[in-house]
């Protein structure tokens, strides 16, 4: 018995992401990714935020995005509102779209 399997699995698991740099959704499947203007896959944004090289909601504010993510986590992930809000207000401001 040894623990080599743990090490070997690391490359496939990617526990650190990637995450959408707009809404923090984990980008796991090929269809989760947004698209660039030339139709290629965006490496940074999900398909809900970014399509054909443009943000789907270009005028949304960071606060509105936090509200969106909170209600998503509460309704779909059945997360308590306080916990969802803590995650939203912690993660969203760190994302590339909101850091400038
Ligand atoms: Zn997104």
Task: Encode pLDDT of 49-94 as tens digits.
Answer: 999 999 999 999 999 999 999 999 999 999 999 999 999 999 999 9
Task: Give the confidence band of 17 by pLDDT, cuts at 50, 70, 90.
Answer: confident
Is there a domain that residue 1 lies in?
no
Ligand 1 centroid – CA 34 distance (Å): 8
Q: Which domain holds residue 71?
A: 16-99
Is there a domain that residue 36 lies in?
yes
Is there a domain that residue 82 lies in?
yes
Ligand 1 centroid – CA 9 distance (Å): 27
Is there a domain that residue 10 lies in?
no
Is there a domain that residue 67 lies in?
yes
Listed residues: CB within 5 A of ion ligand 1: 20, 22-23, 25, 46, 49
Q: What is the pTM of this model?
A: 0.78
Domain count, the chain: 1
Is there a domain that residue 42 lies in?
yes
DSSP codes, 75-95 = HHS---HHHHHHHHHHHGGGS
């Amino acid at each position: 018995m040894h623990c080599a399997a743990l090490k070997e699995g690391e490359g496939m698991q990617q526990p650190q992401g990637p995450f959408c740099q707009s809404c923090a959704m984990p980008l796991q499947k090929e269809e989760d990714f947004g698209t660039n203007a030339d139709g290629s896959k965006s490496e940074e944004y999900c398909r809900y935020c970014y399509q054909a090289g443009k943000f789907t909601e270009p005028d949304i504010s960071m606060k509105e995005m936090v509200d969106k993510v909170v209600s998503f986590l509460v309704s779909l992930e059945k997360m308590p509102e306080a916990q969802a809000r803590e995650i939203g207000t912690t993660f969203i401001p760190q994302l590339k779209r909101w850091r400038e």
